[in-house]
């Protein structure tokens, strides 16, 4: 019998730790064709999602899939994230959390297939709207793209502002 991965258990434990301490749990996710998220908030085939109780409804953190409903720019979306695609979970307020290794997608970055409509939406974004601008819009909707906040993929080494470190678990 194949042993169950520890990853979904660690995700649930860190989610509970965040909520027990009044922090806002976020997950960084690699987006591919198995991930169901609004593509206009995806940057570099990644998205950071606020999974707090206030930002989600019907959150289910299973062993294979994380599912919930969330509002993006006022519109409700069903979100489905394979646990295998979670890059990290961390507290927005202090960056403490855990990063996980994620295998590269089989087809490379091209696996995150965008429809022509989604590509048009991305093309229409103003050039000055970087991830911080998109994050502000998404944050208002209960989902954050946190490039400028503490997190696993913004190059923050934890040396400034007392931010925590993420530990890669194999």
State the pTM of this model.
0.64
Which fold, 7-168? SH3 type barrels. (2.30.30)
Under a CB-based contact definition with an 8 Å cutoff, are residues 126 and 138 in contact? no
Pairing of strands 25-30, 46-50: antiparallel
pLDDT at site 4: 86
Q: 170 pLDDT band (50/70/90 cuts)?
A: low
pLDDT at site 165: 56
**Residue 87 tokens, joined:** 């890059």
pLDDT tens digits for range 100-130: 987 765 544 434 444 334 444 334 433 333 3
Q: 167 pLDDT band (50/70/90 cuts)?
A: low
């Amino acid at each position: 019998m194949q042993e169950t991965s520890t990853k979904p258990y660690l995700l649930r434990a860190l989610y509970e730790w965040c909520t027990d301490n009044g922090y806002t749990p976020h997950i960084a996710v690699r987006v591919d064709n198995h991930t169901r998220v609004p593509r206009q908030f995806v940057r570099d085939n990644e998205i950071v999602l606020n999974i707090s109780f206030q930002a989600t409804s019907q959150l289910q953190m299973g062993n294979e899939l994380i599912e919930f409903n969330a509002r993006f720019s006022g519109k409700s979306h069903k979100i489905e994230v394979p646990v295998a695609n979670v890059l990290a979970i961390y507290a927005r307020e202090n960056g403490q959390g855990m990063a996980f290794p994620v295998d590269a997608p089989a087809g490379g970055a091209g696996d995150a297939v965008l429809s022509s409509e989604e590509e048009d939406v991305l093309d229409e974004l103003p050039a000055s709207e970087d991830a911080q601008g998109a994050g502000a819009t998404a944050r208002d909707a209960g989902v954050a793209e946190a490039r400028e906040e503490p997190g696993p993929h913004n190059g923050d080494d934890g040396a400034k502002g007392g931010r925590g470190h993420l530990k890669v678990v194999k």
